[in-house]
Amino acid sequence: MGMSVMNEDQKRIIEENKKKCICEPCPSYTECMRVGNELLFCITGKSADCIFEKKGCICPSCTVKTILGLKKAYYCIKGSETEQK
């Protein structure tokens, strides 16, 4: 879901949820993602530019995942909840 095709409400929701996002302390989160300020993969999709390997996933303990009723994990690698269906 590209930011250019989102309406203002969707952009606002994403920005609000980024504040609750726990991606940064995840063992699979890389310096490349940090530099690109990549967060909220469960909504925005997997990282397009960063190469990394599975080193653990903390998605199951994320408040955003719970609030949105999401079921998957490793969103940074596998894509958003919608992409994984």
Dump pLDDT digits (tens) for 71-83. 999 999 999 998 9
Please enumerate in sequence order all residues whose Cβ is within 8 A of that of 9, keeping only pairs 6 or more positions apart, or say none.
Answer: none
pLDDT tens sequence across 24-73: 999 999 999 999 999 999 998 999 889 888 999 999 999 999 999 999 99
Q: In the chain, what are the domain boundaries?
A: 3-78
CA distances from 17 to 6, 13, 52 (A): 15, 6, 24
In angstroms, the CA 5 to CA 21 distance is 22
